[in-house]
Structure 1
Amino acid sequence: MSKNDLKGKVVLIAGGGKNLGGLLSKRFAAQGAKLAIHYNSESSRVESENTLSEILALGAEAFLFQADLTKVENVSRFFDEALAKFGHIDIAVNTVGMVLKKSFTETTEEEYDKMFGINSKSAYFFLQEAGKKLSDNGRVCTIVTSLLAAYTGLYSTYAGAKAPVEHFTRAASKEFGSRGISVTAVAPGPMDTPFFYGQETSDAVAYHQSASALGGLTDIKDIAPLVEFLVTDGWWITGQTIFANGGYTTR
């Protein structure tokens, strides 16, 4: 599947209403794709509705789906609603995530469970639904984090909960490969979005800005084309986690 083939394809995006997900939704729509766009909660509704309005103004078909994807039945329902509306799903992208920056000794059981529900459990069952419901030769991509290659404290639940997604990606790619489905993960550096700033002090922001070899935080405009490539022309890449962070971490 090349970029020229996106017209008429159905793209399902978890967390597709704002930030990186919103940008991806609009870029896919501009190339003629049909969109199933998930957002999590009422706090994301206005931005998600604005994204939908922009997409509809392009003449693309799209709908919004609001749900907590830590509940497996909601993941299944999201895929089922896309199938009911469009008849098939060709590409599934999962941008869902939550950051917690907190010391190991102060993290509560409730915080642990919440972080693993959002960053790990929802990703697992998103991949499971994709394996069940994507068309043959479909594409799946999950957003993880460059902290998977970092030697640092304070992100034990965030990086720790994203870490299993690397193996989920490998396992899914192996199991789904016989149907021509490729499965990848993208690990951006700290992205210049509200998702990042809520957990960081000004000193920490300055450090993250200076830590990459190319300088500055990761721009979502630099990540979106990579995701597009992996689910179109880059379909032959599968089972891999791609670190895209301007030299913030590597391994």
Structure 2
Amino acid sequence: MAPFTSRGPNDIEPNILKPDITAPGLNILAAWSEASPPLNVPSDHRVVKYKIDSGTSMSCPHVAAVAALLKAIHPHWSSPAIKSAMMTMAKITNNIGRTITDLLGNIASPFEYEAGHIQPSKAADPGLVYDASYMDYLLFLCGSTRILLDPFECPRVLPLPSDLNYPSLAIANLKKVMAVKRTVTNVGTKNSSYSLRINPPPGYSVKISPATLHFRANGEKRSFSITVKVKNTAKKNKFSFGSYTWSDGIHLVRSPITVSSQ
């Protein structure tokens, strides 16, 4: 076994769906440096402490603040668990209950909002979380071969990038069929049972086993397999979107699915 080096800083791992989540970022009242004019042009010499701004730089502080609040509520939760709570509890509708759209008014896709729009109050009580350790991420990087891991030694049989215990599932260039594994941790009540609802991506079949998860205690873990198969109706070299959701009648633990086939 030998460590590997990076293929380059611009490589992207297509088997992890990004972005993770979306948050308020349009017309946000934000603090502004007095060293920079609000319009950031030579003719603008104004000095302001606040400014209405938009963009991902406005969404990021909202997500960071929610993560900090969740850590205060659940100090023993790991960073992946906090991310999972925010992602699985996100919604894919806007404030008036309609499907999220882009700036042009077109229906947006998970490539634009991924898991959906953040819901902080629901994230505080997600029911289940997809946790992952530092070692899990190192093994993921072994399989993706995108980032320098020296001096970490990867196993001879490299794991599939899609096997990372992530709150979403992305499979790029699927040939025929692929099976991956996920593990959820019960962070809700004891003696709970979760049933499954699958919304398969058009052109693919999705089978998840087992279809029911039973938990006797808080902190208990349960694993399940996800098998995705290409159907004759799949559009080649084009991504298709779906989801699967675990529910105990109170929580809706939703994970997006993104698949493309060769």
TM-score by length of 1: 0.28
**Structure of higher CA gyration radius:** 2
